[in-house]
């Protein structure tokens, strides 16, 4: 099974992973992964809302998962910030179907420019279940589904929280219109 959680920044995607992790009885059957480029929380999946951390292994490509589970009795894998990973999602499907590993994956489905983010469209296509999690608009408190970057970007991908806000469609429209007038 591949269960994926998507939504804007600050919506609680990592919280969802931690909630599931907390319910697992035998943590020895679990591994977690996160992208090498996201070193904000060290080698763990963290949440601002929980004291619990999930120890994680840094990877860059999905094919690296196989070497970390070789010879181990792993039943569940967590992946956070999956949009930053590379690789062929067939690796996930094979591990899920053939090796009967359950995956819980979280990531941004869109960039702050509202484009599909990295390999997330492919992960969503092979997911058994997709949960879209909304945050709260940081301007009007309505449900938010968009991430917006308030400054000019020098790079396409800026890892971190600084400069990003979560917005509803109406507030995103205001920011986009304001940006065109500059």
| CATH classification at residue 114 | 3.40.50.300
Q: What is the pLDDT of residues 150-179, one digit of tens each?
A: 877 666 565 666 778 999 999 999 988 886
Which residue, among 88, 83, 90, has the nearest Cα to 158 in the 3D structure?
A: 83
Q: What is the pLDDT of residues 79-116, one digit of tens each?
A: 999 999 999 999 999 999 999 999 999 999 999 999 99
Is 81 catalytic? The answer is: yes
Its sign, for the CA torsion 159, 176, 13, 103, is negative
- Report the number of distinct structural domains present in the chain: 1
The pTM is what?
Answer: 0.90
Domain extent for 92: 2-133
**Catalytic residue from among 81, 113, 139, 162:** 81
Q: What is the pLDDT of residues 45-54, one digit of tens each?
A: 887 767 778 9
Residue 105: inside a domain: yes
Instruction: For residues 76-81, give the mean pLDDT.
Output: 96
Residue 160: inside a domain: no
Contact, 106 vs 88, CB < 8 A? no
pLDDT at residue number 179: 67
Q: Which residue has the tokens 């990877």?
A: 59
- For the chain, what's the residue count? 182
Q: Tell me the three state secondary structure of residue 51.
A: coil
Residue 93: inside a domain: yes
Q: CA-CA distance, 10 to 180, in Å (whole number)?
A: 26
Residue 30: inside a domain: yes
Residue 166: inside a domain: no
Residue 51: inside a domain: yes
pLDDT at residue 146 above 90?
yes
Contact, 172 vs 20, CB < 8 A? no
- Torsions phi, psi of 161, nearest 5? -100, -25
Please, is 78 exposed, middle or buried when counting C-beta atoms within 10 Å of its C-beta (0-12, 13-18, 19+)?
buried
Residue 26: inside a domain: yes
Residue 178: inside a domain: no
């Amino acid at each position: 099974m591949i269960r994926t959680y998507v939504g804007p920044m600050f919506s609680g995607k990592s919280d969802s992973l931690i909630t599931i992790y907390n319910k697992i009885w035998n943590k020895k059957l679990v591994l977690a992964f996160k992208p090498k480029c996201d070193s904000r929380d060290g080698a763990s999946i963290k949440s601002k809302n929980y004291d619990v951390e999930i120890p994680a292994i840094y990877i860059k490509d999905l094919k690296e998962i196989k070497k970390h589970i070789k010879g181990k009795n792993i039943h569940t894998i967590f992946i956070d910030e999956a949009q930053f990973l590379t690789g062929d999602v067939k690796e996930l499907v094979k591990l899920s179907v053939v090796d009967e590993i359950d995956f819980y994956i979280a990531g941004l489905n869109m960039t702050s420019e509202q484009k599909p983010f990295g390999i997330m469209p492919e992960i969503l296509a092979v997911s058994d279940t997709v949960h879209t999690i909304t945050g709260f608009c940081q301007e009007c408190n309505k449900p938010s589904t968009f991430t917006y970057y308030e400054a000019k970007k020098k790079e396409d991908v800026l890892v971190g929280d600084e400069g990003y806000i979560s917005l509803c469609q109406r507030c995103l429209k205001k920011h986009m219109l304001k940006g065109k007038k500059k």
